[in-house]
Amino acid sequence: MRRVLEILSNWIGNALAVLLILMVLLLCLGVALRYIWGVSLLWADETLVFAMVGMVFVGAIGVSHRDQHLRMSLLTHNASRRVRRFFAIFEQIATVAVCLFVAHYSFKAVSRLSARGTLSNMAEIPLWLIQGTVLVGLVGMALVAAARLWDLLTQTRRTGGSN
């Protein structure tokens, strides 16, 4: 599972890097067209905002996998190994619970938007696709946290229960 998450995380990082380059190119094109030729790409701004939302949520999977997310370590910084482990387990359980709770409602939104065929105003992008990136990010973060929780819980068995 760890190897699959590593490959997925690397693939996501590369795909998001390409997306960022495309976003910058679209932005430059929009600026050039607007200020040099007086032509405006009405759909470009909306598309860039949607791409940014997708980058944040899908990119959060890689951030979670690399354990680079923000956390408050005030309580655990000088704590014993056993206390740090307890908080690490609690953190992963809370992450899985919150991500799956929000993902449940995100799935409902994706289903509704898909059934209605709702499109964005200017770019006419299906809104289920944009909301779907939120769902993918939440489920991905939950899977990473579940894998990390599994590692934490099975670590005791592998080390013979010593802390």
- The whole domain housing 125 covers 2-69+76-158
Q: What is the dihedral of CA 144, 108, 47, 140, to 10 degrees?
A: 10
pTM score, whole prediction:
0.83
Q: Which has the closest alpha carbon to 146: 92, 99, 106?
A: 92
The more confident residue out of 5 and 135 is: 135
pLDDT tens, position by position, 99-158 = 999 999 999 999 999 999 999 999 999 999 999 999 999 999 999 999 999 999 998 655
Q: Is residue 100 part of a domain?
A: yes
- How many angstroms from the chain centroid is the CA of residue 29? 28
Q: Is residue 102 part of a domain?
A: yes
Q: Is residue 163 part of a domain?
A: no
pLDDT tens, position by position, 65-84 = 888 777 777 777 788 889 88
Q: Which residues of 8-140 form beta strands (DSSP E)? A: none
Q: Is residue 28 part of a domain?
A: yes
Q: What is the pLDDT of residue 156?
A: 61
Q: Which has the closest alpha carbon to 86: 155, 140, 1?
A: 155
Q: Is residue 125 part of a domain?
A: yes
Q: Is residue 56 part of a domain?
A: yes
| Total of domains in the chain | 1
